[in-house]
Homo-oligomer: A and B are copies of this chain.
Amino acid sequence: MNEKLVEINKMLVEVYDDVNLIEEYSIKQGTFSDLSITEIHTIEAIGLYGAKTMSEASMELGITMGTLTIAVDKLIKKGYLERSRSNSDRRIVNVNLTNRGKLAYRIHEKFHLDMVKAIMLDFTLQEEEALLRALSKLNKHLKDIYLGSDR
């Protein structure tokens, strides 16, 4: 009974660690080796479509705006982001991806999907469904129990 919990916990921890390693490694090898994982996450948070304000992006990333300011400075210097001020409210700073930023976004997204695809290759349809259902449930529970269903 408890045995299975221990096993599932162990798997989760290992998957967690592996994903981290793989992601780090794949970035180091790839076209955008001048980006860290954190920087890729920043690029992801800005997103392909239009611009985000500093508040929105820092909220989404769960970091302070001060931290984001520095991250954005560096990503602008590297050519992945652009900064502009809102015309309707000059306090607001909008950040958006450059073409290079969009390319990095898409390539990272593709890496993720390819990884999942490779992993699922020999899953039966039933297994696929089971994993998806279990993950959805896991995800929902994590949010409900520990993070308070909203946000």
Contact = CB atoms under 8 A, between A and B. Distances in A.
Interface stretch (A47-55, A78-86, A141-149): A141-149
B19 A139 contact: no
Quick one: copies of this chain in the complex?
2
B19 A16 contact: yes
Interface residues of A, number: 47
Nearest to A145: B118
A71 interface: no
Given A119-B142, A123-B137, 5 more contacts: A15-B139, A19-B142, A115-B145, A118-B145, A130-B133
Interface of A: 2, 4-9, 11-16, 18-19, 21-22, 25-26, 62, 112-113, 115-120, 123, 127-128, 130-139, 141-143, 145-147
